[in-house]
Amino acid sequence: MGARVIQKARDQATEREHYLAARVLNALLREDYAGISARVTRDKDGVAFVLASGRRVGLAAGSPFQDFATAPYERLRLAEVLETLRAVADPADAGGVAAFTRECDEALAALEAHHRRRGEVAGRLRGRRGLIRYESLAATVDHPLYPTARCRLGLSPADLAAYAPEFAPEFAMRWAAVPRERVTLARPELPAWWPAPREVGLPSGLARTHVLFPVHPLAERLVSALPGLVTAPEPHLVVRPTLSTRTVEVAERVHLKVPIPASTLGLRNRRTIKPATLRDGALAESLLRAILAREPRLRVTLADEQTYGHAGHEYLGWLVRGLPEGEIVPVAALLAPLPESEGRLVLHEVAERRYGGDVRALLRDYLAALMEWNVTLFVRYGVALEAHQQNLALLFGDGPMRLLVKDDDGLLVSPRRLEAAGIGVPGFADERMLTGDPYALADVFVTITLHLAAMAVAHGALPGSAAALVGRALAAALEPYGDDPMARLLRARTLEAARLTGKSMVVAGTLVAKERTGARDVNKFYGTTGPNYLRGA
């Protein structure tokens, strides 16, 4: 019996490796890193990819985001995919290849750790309700495109178990007192739940000269080494991690975002907080509120992200996010399997409660709200949001479902279009948030709104009819704008395009240095295209 159990565990571990290896190869093919697609062959036996070892790997249609992907029957080993990556890589990318190899190893370790602890995690989730339950479930769903999203570079397996959302932990925050003259606060009053110095083991009188800053336990060592701070000896405030890991739940309607020493979705995507992004995010939220005041028909609610503080350092910053009343279901959670409920996803649970069990009706409602909002922003105001499935949620209250939007500091704005609409251009510190190029706006719309927020969700739920659902929602949202030049541009880049723009996430995020890619922003680097799944749908 013992030998059979051990062998079964080994087989399951191998399956997880096959899964990750296929995702890695598919990403390299999709982004055509170093011309790796030249290894694709076509003959009477079909389409295949030739590994560095000479082994042929069968490929199949890569719907929806790429032409070909690893065939479902193939069983790849991670080592042979990485060997092929090293064989094609430019010597100048040696550091990036080494970093990506580490990402792959850590992603596999994370998958294994979560599998080992699945019973423990399921037990924790049984005791949770509401948004935080959905946040933890969302973390069990891999990113649609980035293959090693389970990896948080800089965190050990023990760190993940203690602080990553897919393990559903809870922990106490640490604190540090920062001299007042170094502190910038967006609002003069701190939240009512903020501790006083004595509650974290510090002298009460310190409140006159210092401001307490929350410190994630993962960042405690780094923060305590910064000069001029007084680190608190006692923890305070038990929290639970949300999908983003660095953002934690303080209460049902209150989230706290703090820096952590890790990178996600690529080596260059560090999870610290640059001070200027806090103000830029608040300005972006204010801009969207001004637009919503003019567009009352849009079913959108914005999270309150106006409360923040920083001390001019990437590890000394925080944001308090206020969430509205109502039931909140993150879009990223919709495709998550329900624990101990074979074959059922979160979207089935939500559809039963809100749409009479009709998953298609749920998706139609979501896609309509999503496209009406983003098309209006694009056409009328020259705004494109970097609101992917992690930054969107379904909000249910007394009336129809609304879209809840958060984390606005990645949006892109055309000053000319905004001014033409009679709205002032925010004074963003990050000039990369402004563009005079409408095609740059279209790239964000296609890669974020269309690919990630719409198609990835619809395809995961109803693969056979996803393209038709997404295409109809987009066409309906564009219809009122007729021949408006921005509407014509968006149609040309989506419904009518021969191929759709894609992001080179692995290339820009880890494999190739910014000096070689020329990317001003690694999250907005486009070097690839994929089939247009909307054509003919």
Are the C-beta atoms of residues 36 and 88 closer than 8 Å to each other?
yes
Q: Is the pLDDT of residue 7 over 80?
A: no
Residue 75 forms part of a structural domain: yes
pTM of the full predicted structure?
A: 0.95
What backbone torsions phi and psi does residue 40 show, to the nearest 5 degrees?
Answer: -80, 130
Residues 6+ apart with CB under 8 A from 373: 298, 299, 300, 403, 405
Confidence of residue 3 (pLDDT cuts 50, 70, 90): low
What backbone torsions phi and psi does residue 370 show, to the nearest 5 degrees?
Answer: -60, -50
Burial of 10 per CB tally in 10 Å (0-12, 13-18, 19+): exposed
Residue 33 forms part of a structural domain: yes
525 backbone φψ class: left, alpha, beta (φ>0; ψ -120 to 50) = beta
Each residue's pLDDT tens digit, 111-167: 999 999 999 999 999 989 999 999 999 999 999 999 999 999 999 999 999 999 999
Q: Is the pLDDT of residue 9 over 60?
A: no
Q: Is the pLDDT of residue 375 over 80?
A: yes
Residues 6+ apart with CB under 8 A from 208: none
Residue 514 forms part of a structural domain: no
Mean local confidence (pLDDT), 305-323: 98
Q: Is the pLDDT of residue 39 over 80?
A: yes
Report the share of the chain in percent with pLDDT over 90: 93
CA distance 74 to 70: 7
Each residue's pLDDT tens digit, 243-293: 999 999 999 999 999 999 999 999 999 999 999 999 999 999 999 999 999
Determine the 3-state secondary structure of 225 from DSSP.
Answer: coil
pLDDT for 1 equals 46
Confidence of residue 341 (pLDDT cuts 50, 70, 90): confident
Nearest to residue 107, comparing CAs of 24, 219, 221? 24
Residue 351 forms part of a structural domain: no
Please state whether the peptide bond connecting residue 64 to the residue before it is cis, i.e. omega within 30 degrees of 0: yes
Query: How many CA atoms within 13 Å lie on the side-chain side of 239?
Result: 29
Are the C-beta atoms of residues 375 and 481 closer than 8 Å to each other?
yes
Residue 66 forms part of a structural domain: yes
* Number of structural domains in the chain: 1
Determine the 3-state secondary structure of 334 from DSSP.
Answer: coil
pLDDT for 5 equals 52
pLDDT for 12 equals 65
Burial annotation 238-251 (CB, 10 A radius, 16+ → b, else e): ebbbbbbbbbbbbe
Q: CB count, 10 Å around CB of 479?
A: 10
The mean pLDDT of the chain is 95
68 is in which domain, residue-wise?
1-80
Each residue's pLDDT tens digit, 198-241: 999 999 999 999 999 999 999 999 999 999 999 999 999 999 99
Residue 535 forms part of a structural domain: no
Residues 6+ apart with CB under 8 A from 488: none
Mean local confidence (pLDDT), 40-44: 96
Residue 134 forms part of a structural domain: no
